[in-house]
Structure 1
Amino acid sequence: MFGKVQLSPSSYDTAWVAMVPSRGALKEPMFPESVDWIMQNQHPNGSWGLNPSHPLLVKDSLSSTLACLLALQKWKVGEQLVQKGLDFIGSNRLYVNEKNQPSPIGFDIVFPGMVSKAIELGLNLPLDTASVDKMLSNAEQKVKSNSNALSLPKAVSGTKVILHMLLKHLVKLIVGRRCWQQRNEEIFLDVTCCASAFQLLRMHGYEVGSDALAEFIDEEHFFSTVGMQYTNTSTILELYKASQVRIFQREPILEKIHGWTRNFLKSELLNRAIYDERLRNEVEYALEYSIHNVDRVENRRSINLYDVDKFAMLKTSHRWVKDTRMDQLELDWHALYSSHFMVASVHFSPELSDARIAWSKISVIGTILDDMFDIDGPREELLNIIELVEKWDEYSSVGYNSERNKIVFSALYDTINDDLAPKAFAKQGRLTCTSVHVQNLEMIKCMLKEVEWWTENLAPGIDEYIFNGTDTVGCGIYSTVYFFLGPELSENVLSSEEYANLYYYVGRVVRPLNDYRSDERESIQRKLNLCSLLVNQSNGSLAEEDARDEVRKIIEYSRREVLRMMLQTHGSLVPKAVKESIWKLSKLCHYLYARGDEFRTPGSGKDDINIVFYEPINLSQRPSKNSLMHDNHEKASRVLEFM
């Protein structure tokens, strides 16, 4: 059924997998390779885990070691390994109840649960009775008060600990879906677990219906249902998160759950009823950034919630800005930071360095071009840059009518042909510079069209305006990233109906979002904007606020379509990595335009750039905000090769 299983390198996770019994023979492991891996990967000091000698990872090693011991003891193998593991726990037993020692998430609940399981299996743990009693008592109190149960279902129960880990780590192996389809009581009797499972399964592409959450549709019924357990703030939060994974245009169950859970959480915050600071921060973040979030920022904020110590981040100097002479232009340095922050926030894996650098460079040039067409470019200069890009390799036959055009075109030409094309060829096995060149040409032609609409007082149709604006806000040139994500991206894929639909709907997210937030400013400038266009074309029947409501509907409808297509697996031609990148672009734009224009005039976004790129995770080592970002060319160029 599962074929060859790719094992996780995490000893802790592998131990939980190793404990799963075979369906046909409960006295045998379902994944014997996991048991073999445990037996072959014990450290010389008897522990399992990341780094047993690291002073900040002692509790992590204790958790990993005890989990591996449970697996070996369960199947009655590795007697000598078990004894060495017990010796390691004994030599580090004082750290178990040490409050100042950094802990993995949920350690105070999960570790006592594993201790109970170890006693049940007959393991002679080298822990004194008083320590065990204290540990179990503390765990029970934490579960009751919900002070450390932000993401764990009733974790003291060994069975549910196993289930939670299986849902998290085996969802791609269909175990989670199998349990869901069989309505496994361990999932459906625990609201938190059920909501988490729904999120995980949907976001991994499994077609699970929202009807499984129907019993949670009504707030009053939810709290009064007999046998409903663990109905606290963290449970409501998980239901709220589950209600966000709406991929169809009509999902009344999720919409109603979203309504009452959101109101409940807002009320809890307003009434100061959430006493646990971490949970309160998580609720605040979930409500404020329900849609407009990006993975990198969300991950970084999660690190802050759990007081994880810092890891070094590497930056190397890069001279691209000066090499292309763009430092001689009136470059918007905020845009330089924002460009790299955008792509680094969604494509942050080390192996995607080329993707980050490619998008940063193309985006910076695109921003300069946008300023030329939007603010101060003489028409002759605009037509000249278009002709240069059209001729491309024969640009010398055109010539430059300004030094700025020479700098901008040379930067674009050299970056695509000499920098990005060789790297993309190594990954794709074919030349891709033509595709990137065409996307940039389309972008500036669409920019010129907007200039003509504006200067000649023309009113395009709504669909024409949005589709044209899809290119002017950079959706087209963002596709540069796709060539560096790993999967082969053939011309057949790029010309497919599926890819066209993804591009269409993400454009109907990005362009309207941009217009929604710039409506007031552009109205003063008497520039075209989707909101004002809707009002004007309604012949007075649509008020300004009604037009803004219509724009919000377009955005939400299109966002769901992008999410649905991203999760679609049957008959999909576009590689999943590309679809995920398009979905992340949608999320990123919600983030950028949540309150204003974070790309051009970063507000809270400036703080996010600081915490992602510069600010140490260890709060005691934070530099002052004033020392983090300086408007100088040296630092701006360094950010382009943030790894």
Structure 2
Amino acid sequence: MQSAAISSVETQVKTIKEMMFSENIDPYQFVSPSAYDTAWLAIIPDSHHQNMKPMFQNCLNWVLNNQKQQGFWGECDSHGMPSIECLIATLACIIALKKWDVGSEMIDKGMDFVHSNSEKFLSEIKDNCPRTLAIVLPAMFELSKKVGLKIELEEIAIADIFCQRQRILDTEQAVDDYNYPPLLSFLEALPSEYEIDEEDITKNLSGDGSLFHSPSATSFAFMATGNKHCLSYLQSLVQRCPNGVPTMYPMDEELIKLCVINHLHRLGLAEYFVTETERVLEQVYKNYKNHESWAKPSNLVSAQLLKDSLAFRLLRMHGYNVLPWSMRWSICDEKIKALVQNNLEFFCSVMLNIYRATDLMFSGEYELQESRSFSRNLLEKSILTGAADQNSFRKLIEHELSLPWMARLDHLDHRLWIEANENNALWKGKVFFQRLSSHYNDKLIHLAMQNYEFKQSIYKDELEELRRWSKDLGLTHMGFGREKTTYCYFAAAAACTSLPYDSDVRKMVAKSAIIVTVADDFFDMKGSLSDLNCLTEAVQRWDDKRLSGLSKKIFNALDNIVQEMSMKYYKQHGSDITNNLRDIWYETFDSWMTESNWSRSEYIPSIDEYLQTGMISIAAHTIVLPPSCFLTPSLPESKLRPFQYENITKLLMVIARLLNDMQSYQKEKCEGKINSILLCLQNNPEADMEGTIEYVKEIVEKKKMEFIEQVLMDGFNDLPKACRQFHLSCLKTFQMFFHSSNRFDSNTEMIEDINKAIYKPLSLPSQPTKKCCPTINCHFGGPFLKYNYVRITSVPRQLSGINNASRNGFWNMAISPPKFSFGFI
């Protein structure tokens, strides 16, 4: 059964590689078209045919061919659930169809969706409507009425959003330094009271002829002014994107690729796309070193910040030497800071990616520390103010802020991303999120789900094997201490997720951790001083002749794992590492013996003396080094010698010890044991417990930054990259167990995580079904419809489709059945 699952995964991987990573693939294909923007291009009349047909027939065809079964247009979330964004897109598409008097059945179906869902969507944003929706949604309602569509809603349901729009129009300028995107980028949605003249439009056109790279705004600008540069932009856009246009154009192709690679990593699929990832990152790094080609001037601030943060995290995670000061996302620019702070709802997802990038901060990188503090403060504010509520990022933000990356296990992070509603959101466009095309995202999600479930099936089998092993060796019912077989295996599996080839490594880690737990408890709570001396001496001799009872069981389990590793290593490499393994284990048992002597004699060591022993007794190196011999490439034999460990290993040992001490000092104080927290307090009588813990936390944070640099960067040690990454997985496990409490000792705190990792099926919302809500008998209208559309105060002499003889200059979209026309009143 497992071989069939492997075969299915490999087949899907091959298909996706051919689809998404062939040399000739156009990155624009990865991006889902924007129904809203495509509809606006479909509305533009062709002046060469007396305005009787659309200028861009392909865009109208796209609208005709892309209505969802439930009646809406637009990209819903990754699980097929429509959102208020779909309401806006649906209204735009219906208006386009009415313009050309086509698709009457589609219009009816779309109106059913609007009537069935409008009030629900409006109620979701009643207390916190994003600025972009407050600008665009009223315009779509108004425009729908103008073309003869009757939207029946309770007036109270829409009053707030119209009032909010008016507040925005009263307080904002068309283009200023405080609001992003600027009001002028919503040209197609501005009411007539907000006067914009042709000069305002022309002077704000980008070099490519667009209005803030917005297809919808540029479409309106062209229809209002006839500007040839706008037309050239639109023609170029449709030529590049003939099957529906994106929400912004042009797009940074490198950013698209980085988003795809990031998506693969977060779904837990990185191991299948190693070559493809390296190919993308090599090119990104090459451009990064060429600062001129990297730091292109752009008014698309959010896209540039996102690109810089994604590139930094992915490049650094893969060992590239990137420096934060050479990237602009460090948020040191005061104007950018102000822009982000004033438009938090828009920049929320960008701040989340910047915060994640700072997880990989090295010691002394103060600009990253500043960026981390800045982004964290804004993310916390977004939760309090509700700025994150409407884009489904709230859960992800809360997860990132409440549980640091170093305290999370990869396998569970992958699950969270698979189940996330916004996992196909790439970056925020003017109104909508630019999303990964459902054609590709559906295949990636399906592969990720199958891969995750395949891992769960492997984990279940391996855990049962471990339980039998523990039971057969008598470790399950020792009569004292903690029975942590499941915990130990869960940590090994969830932290080291490559499958299926690292099965032996996972089981070796788990077995070692089980023995460490049982033996440590024996030294702490069961064995007499005589028993402990006998066991330690037996481990030194590697001879169980004088042992009996519990001591003998522990030694036999220890001998079992050492023999297993030695025999396997000999078969693979032709050399014997038995003595190296025995020496590491003896070093560990000897440290436990030393601590037992301290405790029973009430000896108080110095902090340095304590840490020299404590960094060994935590047994992190005992768990991580021997299994590293079976990685590819493997740990060199020379790195198994006691007291000759690389600095990266020593950092792991010290950090793990301090993490444990911060969560166990109360218990150990009651038991009369030594602890670094207690020693610090003894040496500093004026200090209090809270201040001492904060002091140790600061030490740990500095050591972790040192450690991360040695994991990710070459040149600090001779360990292969796989071994360094294995060190990181081990530290993340310790951080997970001892982040805010002693979860390892708890019998309940780990249950939910274990179930999610091994047993609980993935939870994905079912596909939506059409629900017809009762129609509310109150026609949409009222005092909020007193405005028509944008007043163009300067009208060109020859502008096809617009009546130059207009008396008042209002541009509206009047219905004149059976034809739909643009014209001035």
TM-score by length of 1: 0.71
Higher relative contact order, structure no. (Cα contacts within 8 Å, ≥ 6 residues apart)? 2
**2:579 corresponds to 1:434:** yes
- Residue 320 of structure 1 deviates from its aligned partner by 1.1
Matches within 5 A, 1:202-281: 202-211=316-325, 212-213=327-328, 216-217=331-332, 221-224=336-339, 231-247=346-362, 249-276=363-390, 278-281=392-395
Separation in 2, partners of 1:199, 1:568: 13
Separation in 1, partners of 2:328, 2:480: 51
Matches within 5 A, 1:28-427: 31=23, 103=78, 156-157=247-248, 160=251, 162-167=253-258, 169=261, 172-173=278-279, 174-183=282-291, 184-185=294-295, 189=301, 190-211=304-325, 212-213=327-328, 216-217=331-332, 221-224=336-339, 231-247=346-362, 249-276=363-390, 278-290=392-404, 291-306=406-421, 311=453, 313-314=456-457, 315-316=460-461, 317-318=464-465, 319-330=468-479, 335-349=484-498, 350-392=500-542, 394-396=543-545, 399-400=546-547, 402-417=548-563, 419-427=564-572
Matches within 5 A, 1:535-554: 535-538=681-684, 540-554=685-699
Separation in 2, partners of 1:91, 1:225: 35
- Residue 546 of structure 1 deviates from its aligned partner by 2.7
Cα gap change, 1:411 to 1:251, in 2 (>3 Å): same
For residue 470 of structure 1, give the secondary structure of its aligned residue in structure 2: helix
Structure 1, 425-434 or 552-561: larger mean CA deviation:
425-434
For residue 507 of structure 1, give the secondary structure of its aligned residue in structure 2: helix
Aligned length: 522
Contact 1:462 1:533 in 2 (8 A): yes
**2:635 corresponds to 1:486:** no
Separation in 1, partners of 2:343, 2:383: 23
Show CA shifts across 1:533-555 (max 9, x none). 012123x2433333212211221
Separation in 2, partners of 1:97, 1:493: 62
CA RMSD for the aligned pairs? 4.4
For residue 604 of structure 2, give the secondary structure of its aligned residue in structure 1: coil
Letter in 2 for 1:388: A
1:463 to 602, 608, 612: 608
- Residue 233 of structure 1 deviates from its aligned partner by 0.7
- Residue 194 of structure 1 deviates from its aligned partner by 1.4
Letter in 2 for 1:209: L
Letter in 2 for 1:500: E
Contact 2:349 2:393 in 1 (8 A): yes
How high is the sequence identity, in percent, across the aligned residues?
Answer: 20
For residue 484 of structure 1, give the secondary structure of its aligned residue in structure 2: coil
For residue 393 of structure 2, give the secondary structure of its aligned residue in structure 1: helix
Larger radius of gyration: 2
> Hey, what does 2:752 align to over in structure 1?
607
Contact 2:358 2:372 in 1 (8 A): yes
> Hey, what does 1:636 align to over in structure 2?
none
Flag structure 1 segments of 5+ consecutive residues without an equivalent. 1-7, 19-30, 36-47, 50-58, 61-89, 109-127, 147-152, 622-643
- Residue 505 of structure 1 deviates from its aligned partner by 0.9
Separation in 2, partners of 1:187, 1:589: 44
For residue 702 of structure 2, give the secondary structure of its aligned residue in structure 1: helix
Contact 2:481 2:522 in 1 (8 A): no
Cα gap change, 1:498 to 1:607, in 2 (>3 Å): same
> Hey, what does 2:762 align to over in structure 1?
617
- Residue 340 of structure 1 deviates from its aligned partner by 0.7
Cα gap change, 1:511 to 1:129, in 2 (>3 Å): farther
For residue 273 of structure 1, give the secondary structure of its aligned residue in structure 2: coil
Separation in 1, partners of 2:606, 2:368: 34
- Residue 353 of structure 1 deviates from its aligned partner by 0.7
Separation in 2, partners of 1:131, 1:577: 56
Cα gap change, 1:566 to 1:187, in 2 (>3 Å): farther
Separation in 2, partners of 1:264, 1:561: 27
Show CA shifts across 1:438-490 (max 9, x none). 22211111011111122222222323322311222221221222122221322
Contact 2:330 2:367 in 1 (8 A): no
Cα gap change, 1:107 to 1:586, in 2 (>3 Å): farther
Structure 1, 479-488 or 193-202: larger mean CA deviation:
479-488
- Residue 244 of structure 1 deviates from its aligned partner by 2.2
Cα gap change, 1:499 to 1:278, in 2 (>3 Å): farther
For residue 509 of structure 1, give the secondary structure of its aligned residue in structure 2: helix
Letter in 2 for 1:565: Q
- Residue 522 of structure 1 deviates from its aligned partner by 1.9
Separation in 1, partners of 2:642, 2:588: 20
Matches within 5 A, 1:444-523: 444-478=589-623, 479-494=625-640, 499-523=645-669
Letter in 1 for 2:631: L
- Residue 224 of structure 1 deviates from its aligned partner by 3.2
Matches within 5 A, 1:12-31: 12=16, 15=19, 17-18=21-22, 31=23
Separation in 1, partners of 2:359, 2:733: 16
Contact 1:334 1:602 in 2 (8 A): no
Separation in 2, partners of 1:234, 1:91: 28
For residue 255 of structure 2, give the secondary structure of its aligned residue in structure 1: helix
Separation in 2, partners of 1:297, 1:566: 22
Letter in 1 for 2:257: L
Letter in 1 for 2:290: Q
Cα gap change, 1:384 to 1:260, in 2 (>3 Å): same
For residue 309 of structure 2, give the secondary structure of its aligned residue in structure 1: helix
Show CA shifts across 1:426-448 (max 9, x none). 44443333332222211111011
- Residue 591 of structure 1 deviates from its aligned partner by 1.4
- Residue 255 of structure 1 deviates from its aligned partner by 0.9
Letter in 2 for 1:164: L
**2:580 corresponds to 1:580:** no
Structure 1, 352-361 or 164-173: larger mean CA deviation:
164-173
Cα gap change, 1:543 to 1:384, in 2 (>3 Å): same
Separation in 2, partners of 1:372, 1:129: 79
Show CA shifts across 1:141-195 (max 9, x none). 999669xxxxxx9974476363234335466231111222224256985211211
For residue 595 of structure 1, give the secondary structure of its aligned residue in structure 2: coil
Separation in 1, partners of 2:669, 2:502: 40
Cα gap change, 1:99 to 1:422, in 2 (>3 Å): farther
Separation in 2, partners of 1:597, 1:176: 42
Separation in 2, partners of 1:330, 1:99: 62
For residue 269 of structure 1, give the secondary structure of its aligned residue in structure 2: helix
- Residue 497 of structure 1 deviates from its aligned partner by 10
Structure 1, 94-103 or 502-511: larger mean CA deviation:
94-103
**2:676 corresponds to 1:530:** yes
Flag structure 2 segments of 5+ consecutive residues without an equivalent. 1-11, 33-64, 84-102, 115-128, 135-212, 215-245, 262-275, 424-444, 767-825
Contact 2:629 2:637 in 1 (8 A): no
For residue 360 of structure 2, give the secondary structure of its aligned residue in structure 1: coil
